[in-house]
Structure 1
């Protein structure tokens, strides 16, 4: 049995209980961490709580302002998305038709209708969707790290091809972009080293193009 940890935000206690019950009905162990939100809650404070937690996916109710909260769930998701663009996240709402016009295009695929909890199959599909998002996210990170280490070590010992240089840069950028708050990076992801390597590769491309032109 796998274990997953999902953060959930809703201003209404009944909805929080419903979501916990929905997650408990799964064959895997889905732990729900509830984040309190009240009219006194600031978005910055809530974001810091989320970012400091160890959740693997974030699910947020859309209409938080219904009880006086100073922002909507979609606002929170959009700001969170700017910080951690690849992290699994869902806007959970009973008003899907109202949410879609209000969010950025790349957020739309993250919206899920609350009415699923009345349907066993759709509930199972929703839980599977959350678990798949988490698994795919972690797999992407693991694969990027592994390939980055392989290419970095290969580059130290041998010359690597332009295609491999490009792959190296893609994995570096992905890992750097996981969290825009990063200020210090491991040596293998150092921005200056990255830019220096990029310049070297551009020179290699220029040399190849020159040889083709002169041939």
Structure 2
């Protein structure tokens, strides 16, 4: 199974170039970029494209197609998915550096093309690290949910449950990475209260 990468570039030929260069290990998709389209429309396209990683060309205003550059696209998308793996592609790192909030996501196109295998390894590592982050928190969350339903949770475990939920929630501000029904910590408290009431009732019967 290939990882799916979204590539934002106003030049369809550049998208096609990376589709060819990365085709052995990745499915690279482009976006329907129209003249002067609002950035919100582009962000919606990216969000709904079900990608594993995002690549963004820095100079998007070159051909007067878009009125904003890649740093703005990255910033807007990070407002929704703050830790989602992405890179900004440029031929001139010095131009991009002052404007990109997280400089270590800037990659030189020439260097990537000269050492494609290393570049592919970087892409894979970013994707795998993000998926592992989600996976670890889901395992912690599910284990605590199971324990809460079976035995109840102590205060420390409830805190860990909330932290795991918040960590997953922060990964995607539009739709959470886990089903919303898992968030109800009160169900554990209700279960514990019900068990306590049942035990009290049994004890009262014994006393009669």
Give the structure-1-normalised TM-score. Answer: 0.77
Give ranges in structure 2 of 5+ residues lacking alignment.
190-208
Q: Which has the higher mean CA deviation after the structures are superposed, 173-182 or 11-20? A: 11-20
CA displacement at 1:80 relative to structure 2: 0.1
Match of 1:110 among 105, 109, 112: 105
Give the stretch that moved more between structures: 76-85 or 108-117: 108-117
Higher mean displacement: 90-99 or 35-44: 35-44
Higher helix share: 1
Distance in structure 1 (CA, Å) of the matches to 2:140 and 2:122:
27
Contact 1:9/1:61 (<8 A) preserved: yes
**Preserved CA contact (<8 Å) 2:81 2:172:** yes
| Residue 135 of structure 1 pairs with residue 128 of structure 2 | yes
**Conserved 8 A contact 1:7-1:59:** yes
What is the Cα deviation at residue 164 of structure 1? 3.0
- Greater C-alpha radius of gyration: 2
What is the aligned residue count?
186
Stretches of structure 1 lacking an aligned partner (at least 5 in a row)? 198-215
Counterpart CA distance in 1 for 2:30 and 2:113 is: 22
Take 2:154 and 2:108, find their aligned partners in 1: how far apart are those partners? Answer: 47
Partner Cα distance (1:132, 1:154) in 2: 33
Contact 2:12/2:30 (8 A) holds in 1: no
Q: Within 2, Cα distance between the matches of 1:142 and 1:126?
A: 24
SS in 1 for 2:17: helix
Q: Return the TM-score normalized by structure 2.
A: 0.80
| Alignment partner, residue 63 of structure 1 | 59
